[in-house]
Amino acid sequence: MNAKVATLVGIALALVASVLFLKSGSSATAALWTMSNEGSWLLPLVGVAALIDSINPCAFSVLIVTIAFLLSLGKLRSHVLEIGAAYILGIFLVYMLIGLGMLQVLHLFDTPHFMAKLGASVLILLGLISLLNHFVPAFPVKVKIPQFAKAPMAQLMEKASLPSAFALGGLTGLCEFPCTGGPYIMVIGLLHDRGTHLAGLGYLLLYNLIFILPLVVILLLASDRSLLAKVEAWKKSNTGSMRLWGGQAMVLLGALIFAL
């Protein structure tokens, strides 16, 4: 394993370890509360919420399938990286626009505390659904990309062009937000309640950079043909664990926001 791959694997393991810590119950909640100066500092709360939101099997799956498809066509790694970067950029821009729009609406209507509590409620609900999906696979409500979006995504994937990859990322972001946007809604509410508009823009940018970080790591790893099978195997074997740990982390973070 060369130094570049070892570095990427190290980053991936650090991300996974961070999520594992978040599932550790009251100790993780207490540590986060301390780091945020009893809720008055936004940076730790924004960072943790973005990390929870970023560990998303749906976005991972679309990216890995796209990479596998391109490699099966004999595309060069440079082209695969370009397509993957366009996909990630599409997700990033859509999430930024959603956040900016929601933040602007809150500033116009000046509704204190409502969105943070609403986001925390959605966060807890999504966490509970994720836990039910893990322990009761037959539970009818799923946190996943809706069925109606899969055909357009497949069509965009088959075009294998930069514009189609960008559109695929945007569509993935739009489909993800209703399913997993609880952390984002909560953060936007906190930014409205506790920060200035200019500071809010900075925190939104930071949130979304953290949000796409695991996708960047996966792209760099999976675009190496020799590592793709390992990445696919890791994703398949850990989807259940991500759902379990992510569900617990969402419930804990939502409960912490209610305590602020």
The mean-pLDDT minimum among 4-8, 39-43, 91-95, 131-135 falls in: 4-8
Give the model's confidence band at 17: pLDDT under 50 very low, under 70 low, under 90 confident, else very high: low
Output the pLDDT for position 42: 72
Q: What is the mean pLDDT of residues 74-95?
A: 91
Residues whose CB falls within 8 Å of the CB of residue 255, separated by 6 or more in sequence, listed in order: 29, 120, 124
Please, what sign has the CA dihedral across residues 198, 215, 184, 97? positive
Position 50 confidence tier, pLDDT thresholds 50, 70, 90: confident
Contact 212, 204 (CB under 8 A): no
Whether 155 shows a pLDDT value over 80: the answer reads yes
Task: Round to whole Å and give the CA distance between 1 and 7.
Answer: 10
What pLDDT band is residue 26 in, cutting at 50, 70 and 90? very low
Say what percent of the chain tops pLDDT 70.
Answer: 65
30 Cβ contact list (under 8 Å, min separation 6)? none
Q: What is the pLDDT of residue 182?
A: 73
pLDDT tens digit sequence for 231-258: 777 767 776 666 676 777 777 767 766 6
Q: Does residue 91 contact residue 161 with C-beta atoms inside 8 Å? A: no
Higher confidence at residue 111 or residue 97?
97
Q: Which of 178, 253, 254 is nearest to 19 (CA)?
A: 253
Q: What is the pLDDT of residue 24?
A: 46
pTM of the predicted model as reported, rounded to 2 decimal places? 0.70
At residue 148, the pLDDT reads 64
pLDDT over 90 at 5, yes or no: no
* Alpha carbon distances (Å) from 123 to 40, 110, 139, 251: 20, 22, 18, 6
- Phi and psi torsions of 60, nearest 5°: -60, -45
Q: What is the pLDDT of residue 36?
A: 47
User: Residue 183: its pLDDT value, please?
Assistant: 79
Looking at residue 85, what is its pLDDT?
Answer: 94
Is the pLDDT confidence value at 39 over 80? no
Sign of torsion over alpha carbons 82, 47, 114, 181: positive
Tokens found for residue 136:
């009761």
CA distance 138 to 194: 41
Return the pLDDT at 119. 67
The answer to whether 168 and 153 have CB atoms below 8 angstroms apart is yes
More confidently predicted of 8 and 149: 149
pLDDT for the residue numbered 251: 73
Q: Which amino acid is at 143?
A: V
Q: Which of 247, 253, 249, 240 is nearest to 126 (CA)?
A: 247
Mean pLDDT value across the chain: 74
**Nearest CA to 22 among 253, 227, 183, 195?**
253
Three-state secondary-structure class, residue 75: coil
pLDDT at 2 over 80: no
Sequence-distant contacts of 69-75: CB under 8 A, at least 24 apart: 69/157, 69/158, 69/160, 70/160, 71/223, 71/225, 71/228, 73/160, 75/160
Tell me the mean pLDDT in the region 180-198.
73
